Structure 1
Amino acid sequence: MSDEDWRSEERYAGLRELTAPALAWEFLRRNGDYQADYQRIQSEVASGGTARAGDARLARWGLTFRCRSGARRGRTAGLLAA
């Protein structure tokens, strides 16, 4: 992105319509430290770990998830996309 692109009102017009949580997610998903944590969690899950192992790391970012129902508890949880 050039120095001028960030000043373009058209690029950010959609942000005016976002809810507070959606706006927070837009900033979070662009954060390099969050992206690194997300990649570590993905690697842990791919290596046989559970998604629950990454909960503490996600909580650092204010992300918490309700317990899954008993029927779904055995499956691998879907994580937020980076």
Structure 2
Amino acid sequence: MPSYIVICKSTATPPKVEAAKQYAREKGATVGADYAVLNGFQVSFDDDVDALDTMRRLDSVDSVEIDQEIEIQS
């Protein structure tokens, strides 16, 4: 099951973020870690393109990106 990072808009209130999580659960996703600094969370979806596209269009959501390792260079 692929993992994604959902970043909510900076204006999204905690209830709006929770509503986005609930939407994901209703579509069969597993909600994982919260990222308070990003105002977002991790979610694992089956390859349900429709659910991902709809999640991207939620008023509270800024972006949905595939979860991947990043390397920070100093």
State if a TM-score over 0.5 links the two structures: no
- Return the structure number with greater relative CO, CA threshold 8 A, min gap 6: 2
If you compute each CA radius of gyration, which structure gives the higher value, 1 or 2? Answer: 1
Greater fraction of residues in helix: 1
TM-score normalised according to structure 2 size: 0.32
Greater fraction of residues in strand: 2
TM-score normalised according to structure 1 size: 0.31
